[in-house]
Amino acid sequence: MTRSDLPARELVERAGNGDRRAVGRLLSLVERGGPVAEEIAELTHAASQAAHVIGITGAPGSGKSTMVARLVAASTAAGQRPAVLAVDPSSPLTGGAILGDRVRMAEVDTTAFIRSVATRGHAGGLALAIPGGARVLAAAGFDPVIIETVGVGQVEVDVTAAADTTVVVVTPGMGDAVQANKAGLLEVADVFVVNKADLPRASDARRDLELMLELSHVTGQEDENYRPPIAMVNSLEGDGIAEVHALIGAHRDYLDESGSRHAGRCRRARFELLSRAGLQFERRLAATLEMPEVAAAIDDVAAGRATPAAGLAALTAALGQPL
């Protein structure tokens, strides 16, 4: 029996015993979805609760991948066993992940585990498989689990639904701090990083963040006892990475000491349940659109014989429930 033919339970056991190929196979099965993915979720859920999940988000070009590679090296040097889920843009033809992040992280210590996953068009660049993938890595003994997101669009705030600690990366001279504020990232950040701090106006970027934090009274975890710190980093040289690693550790300690971790994970569970419900509804809706009576209604709307409201009524009737 090949590894690809092994039952999910045996793959989970092998992954827990350090079999990296079993971990990779489990992640592939989770990405594929279906009954096997649900079985893997059931087998890994309880064992995955101890790991700390870190979300890294920010605009494209802000140097997230380089910083993540440095963070992974800092984690392994500290005796941790980190893993990375690098969420890449999906190929429009194959739906597969572009492996740029894995290329950029090629020099990372081999004790870490790095995996690129495809967004498959999911809003916010977070694949629906991300929660399941994080569970697999955590159950396999990796801690922390780092999720690096694509960094496109305002819905990047979805990263907080999958992470215990959210790190928002901005760069000087690109207006990233302002864009982060517009996207709502200031409201979800637990740690801010001004990357490329050797560039001119780096201090301006930090000042912008501090000003916006003051004006909006933003606090991490919706707790007035916690204020997101700001670290100045040069990822290429490794400057400031130790501080970021320490700040993430301090936030992890804060979550445990304040009792905020459970509240955050309740938000994560709520988001995953909503995502699952939404996916099921999308599949049902897609099937309903192919029904003859709905297809006829669509044709009538397109030809001007019926209004969109009338077409929606036909769709609602076919679904058997109001929209």
Q: How does pLDDT run across 141-188, given as a tens digit for each residue?
A: 999 999 988 665 544 656 677 899 999 888 887 565 555 555 566 777
Number of other residues whose CB lies within 10 A of the CB of residue 258: 13
Least confident of 87-101, 124-138, 299-313: 87-101
Q: At what angle do helices 308-319 and 292-303 cross, to 10 degrees?
A: 170
State residue 2 phi and psi, 5-degree precision.
-80, 165
Q: Which of 197, 218, 219, 215 is nearest to 206 (CA)?
A: 197
| Alpha-carbon span 87 to 156, nearest angstrom | 12
Looking at the predicted structure, is the pLDDT value of residue 93 above 50?
no
Predicted TM-score of the model (pTM): 0.83
DSSP output for 203-236: HHHHHHHHHHHHHHT--GGG-TT----EEE-BTT
Complete domains list, the chain, with CATH? 1-44 (no CATH), 49-258 (3.40.50.300), 273-319 (no CATH)
Q: What is the per-residue pLDDT for 154?
A: 43
DSSP helix/strand/coil, 59: coil
| Alpha-carbon span 37 to 135, nearest angstrom | 11
Identify whether the C-beta of residue 134 lies closer than 8 Å to the C-beta of residue 145.
yes
Identify whether the C-beta of residue 56 lies closer than 8 Å to the C-beta of residue 68.
yes
How much of the chain, in percent, has pLDDT values that exceed 90? 42
Q: Which of 37, 21, 27 is nearest to 85 (CA)?
A: 27
Looking at the predicted structure, is the pLDDT value of residue 40 above 90?
yes
Radius of gyration of the chain (CA): 22
Q: How does pLDDT run across 7-34, given as a tens digit for each residue?
A: 999 999 999 999 999 999 999 998 888 8
Buried b (16+ CB within 10 A) or exposed e, 118-127: bbeebebbbb
